[in-house]
C-alpha cells in the first residue's frame, strides 16, 4: 500500500505560545477556550475534511503571565467526551500527565472515552513540563527527569494491563443460562513495580479498537526512548526539513531496536500553515502575525516557563544571561540546556537571549494552496513525517486549508478521499492489540 499523509487538528482557542495576541482578533470569541461549541465546530470541520484526529493539549500550572488559552480552558477528557457525541470518525486525542495521575483512574477515564467514541480515543502521554505543578498535588518538588520517565513507562505498562482486564468475549449475556459474565475471561492485574502497585481488574470492557492509541511528544533522549518503547503516535517538534528528517529516522531506528515494527509508530510534526490567494499575500500576513505577537515583556515572562516559572524580570537585561541551569533540570531541560549553551558560547545578555528565541522564522507551509501542498509533498517524500499536527489561528484559516490544500493532496493520491475505518487505529493503519490473556490461551492450545 502506498504511504498517505495523516492530518490532525490542534485548536488554539484564544491563543497559546506564539499566538499571545490571538484573543484580540475580532474573529475569535473571547470565551473560545471554554466554549464546547467552538471545539465541536473545529472537530466537525476537520472530520468533514477527513482528518485523522483532534488533539487537545493540557497543563496543570499557570500564573498570570501565561498565554490566554492556558489561563481558562476545559479539561481534555471532559471536552473530548462531549465532542465524541457530535462526531463519528475523527480520532480524539487528549493530553494527560503520567506524573500527576494514577494508572487505574486514568486508564478508566480513557477507556470510557474509547467506548463513548466507539473506538476513537488516544492518550498523549506527558511527564509534565511545568515543574511547579507539584505544588498543586501536595508535593514540594517536581520529580527529576529519570524518575518521571521511568514512572511514565511503568504507567503505560500498567494502563495497558488494565485495559486487558476483560477478554473480548467476556460478556456472553446469556439469559437462558443466567450468565452475564464468563468469570474465566476476567483477569486481575496484581501489578507490583517500582512506582505503582495496582490490583485491578478494570471495570470496563475493551473497545472496538482494543485499547486507546498511545501518543507521546518527547524530544529529549529519555523522551525519544520512551516513544520508541510505547508510542504508536508521536507529536514531533518539526523545525527545519533536516531536523525533522533526523528526528523521524532516529525514532524509527529506536523503534526497530526495541523489536517493534517502525510502521506501527506514526510521527506527526507540528505545522501552522497559512494559506492565502498568493504566496506574497501569505508571506505578508505571516510577518504581520509575528509583529502582532512580538511583545518583549510577554516574551520575557514566557522564557521563565522552561525554568520552573522563574521570574527573569529581576535580572539586568543587559548583563550576561544568568546562571539558571539548576532550574531547568526538573522542567524543560532539553530546550533550556540548548539555550544556556548558546548563551554561554556567544556571551549573550538576557535581552539578546529573548531576541534570539523570539526572532522571526519563516514557516515552510506558507503560500497559496499549491505552494503549501508542494511543500507538504516534498517534506513527506523526504521522510520528514507520517503526518502533520495542524494549528490554525482562526476557523477561517482552517477552512482555507481544507478547501484549498486538501483537494490538491487528494488529487495527487497523498491523502484519503474517504474514511476507511471507524476507529482511530483503523484510520492510522495501526493493528488492534491482541488481549494478552487471549494470546496466552491460544499459545497453550497450540
Show binding-site residues for FMN. 58, 95, 149, 220
Rounded to whole angstroms, the Cα distance separating 384 from 376 reads: 10
Rounded to whole angstroms, the Cα distance separating 252 from 265 reads: 8
Is the alpha carbon torsion for 277, 280, 282, 288 positive or negative? negative
Phi, psi of 110 (to 5 degrees): -70, -35
Residues contacting residue 408 through CB under 8 Å, at least 6 positions apart: 369, 370, 373
CB atoms within 10 A of CB 259: 7
The C-alpha cell that represents 55 in the structure block: 488533539
| Closest by Cα among 162, 230, 145, 166 to 197 | 162
Place of cell 511583545: 295
Measure Cα distances from 230 to 112, 132, 140, 366 in Å. Answer: 21, 27, 30, 34
State yes or no: cis peptide before 201, omega within 30 of 0.
yes
Contact 406, 370 (CB under 8 A): no
197-198 and 191-192: which strand pairing?
A: antiparallel
Q: What angle do CA 164, 177, 169 make, to 5 degrees?
A: 20
Rounded to whole angstroms, the Cα distance separating 236 from 217 reads: 6
Place of cell 556571551: 347
Give, as one character, the DSSP assignment of residue 135.
G
Residues contacting residue 61 through CB under 8 Å, at least 6 positions apart: 130, 132, 133, 135, 136, 309
Binding residues: 58, 95, 149, 220
The distance in angstroms from the start CA to the end CA of the chain is: 32
Q: Classify residue 190 as left (phi > 0), alpha (psi -120 to 50) or beta.
A: left
Amino acid at each position: 500500500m502506498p504511504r498517505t499523509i495523516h492530518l490532525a487538528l490542534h485548536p488554539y482557542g484564544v491563543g497559546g505560545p506564539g499566538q499571545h495576541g490571538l484573543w484580540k482578533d475580532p474573529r475569535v470569541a473571547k470565551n473560545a477556550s471554554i466554549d464546547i461549541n467552538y471545539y465541536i465546530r473545529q472537530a466537525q470541520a476537520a472530520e468533514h475534511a477527513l482528518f485523522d484526529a483532534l488533539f487537545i493539549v493540557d497543563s496543570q500550572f499557570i500564573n498570570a503571565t501565561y498565554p490566554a488559552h492556558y489561563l481558562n480552558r476545559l479539561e481534555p477528557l471532559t471536552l473530548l467526551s462531549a465532542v465524541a457525541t457530535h462526531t463519528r470518525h475523527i480520532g480524539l486525542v487528549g493530553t494527560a500527565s503520567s506524573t500527576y495521575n494514577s494508572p487505574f483512574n486514568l486508564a478508566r477515564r480513557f477507556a470510557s472515552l474509547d467506548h463513548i467514541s466507539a473506538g476513537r480515543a488516544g492518550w498523549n502521554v506527558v511527564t509534565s513540563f511545568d515543574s511547579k505543578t507539584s505544588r498543586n498535588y501536595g508535593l514540594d518538588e517536581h520529580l527529576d527527569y529519570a524518575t518521571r520517565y521511568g514512572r511514565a513507562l511503568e504507567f503505560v505498562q500498567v494502563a495497558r494491563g488494565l485495559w486487558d482486564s476483560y477478554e473480548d468475549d467476556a460478556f456472553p449475556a446469556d439469559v437462558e443460562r443466567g450468565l452475564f459474565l464468563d468469570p474465566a475471561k476476567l483477569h486481575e492485574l496484581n501489578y507490583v513495580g517500582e512506582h505503582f502497585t495496582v490490583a485491578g481488574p478494570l471495570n470496563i470492557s475493551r473497545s472496538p479498537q482494543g485499547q486507546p492509541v498511545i501518543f507521546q511528544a518527547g524530544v529529549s533522549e529519555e523522551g525519544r526512548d520512551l516513544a520508541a518503547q510505547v508510542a504508536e503516535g508521536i507529536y514531533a517538534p518539526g523545525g527545519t526539513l533536516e531536523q525533522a528528517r533526523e528526528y523521524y529516522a532516529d525514532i524509527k531506528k529506536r523503534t526497530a531496536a526495541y523489536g517493534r515494527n517502525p510502521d506501527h509508530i506514526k510521527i506527526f510534526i507540528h505545522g501552522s500553515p497559512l494559506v492565502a490567494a498568493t504566496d506574497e499575500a501569505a508571506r505578508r500576513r505571516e510577518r504581520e502575525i509575528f509583529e502582532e505577537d512580538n511583545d518583549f515583556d510577554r516574551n520575557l515572562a514566557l522564557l521563565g516557563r522552561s525554568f520552573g516559572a522563574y521570574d527573569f524580570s529581576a535580572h539586568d537585561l543587559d548583563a550576561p544571561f544568568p546562571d539558571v541551569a539548576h532550574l531547568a533540570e526538573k522542567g524543560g531541560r532539553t530546550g533550556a540546556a540548548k539555550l544556556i549553551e548558546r548563551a554561554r558560547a556567544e556571551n549573550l545578555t538576557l535581552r539578546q537571549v529573548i531576541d534570539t528565541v523570539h526572532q522571526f522564522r519563516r514557516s515552510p507551509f506558507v503560500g497559496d494552496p499549491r505552494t503549501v501542498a508542494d511543500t507538504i509533498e516534498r517534506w513527506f517524500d523526504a521522510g520528514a513525517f507520517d503526518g502533520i499536527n495542524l494549528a490554525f489561528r482562526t476557523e477561517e484559516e482552517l477552512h482555507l486549508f481544507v478547501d484549498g490544500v486538501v483537494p490538491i493532496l487528494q488529487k495527487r493520491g497523498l491523502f484519503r478521499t474517504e474514511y476507511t475505518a471507524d476507529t482511530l487505529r483503523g484510520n492510522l493503519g495501526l493493528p488492534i492489540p491482541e488481549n494478552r490473556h487471549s494470546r496466552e490461551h491460544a499459545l497453550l492450545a497450540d
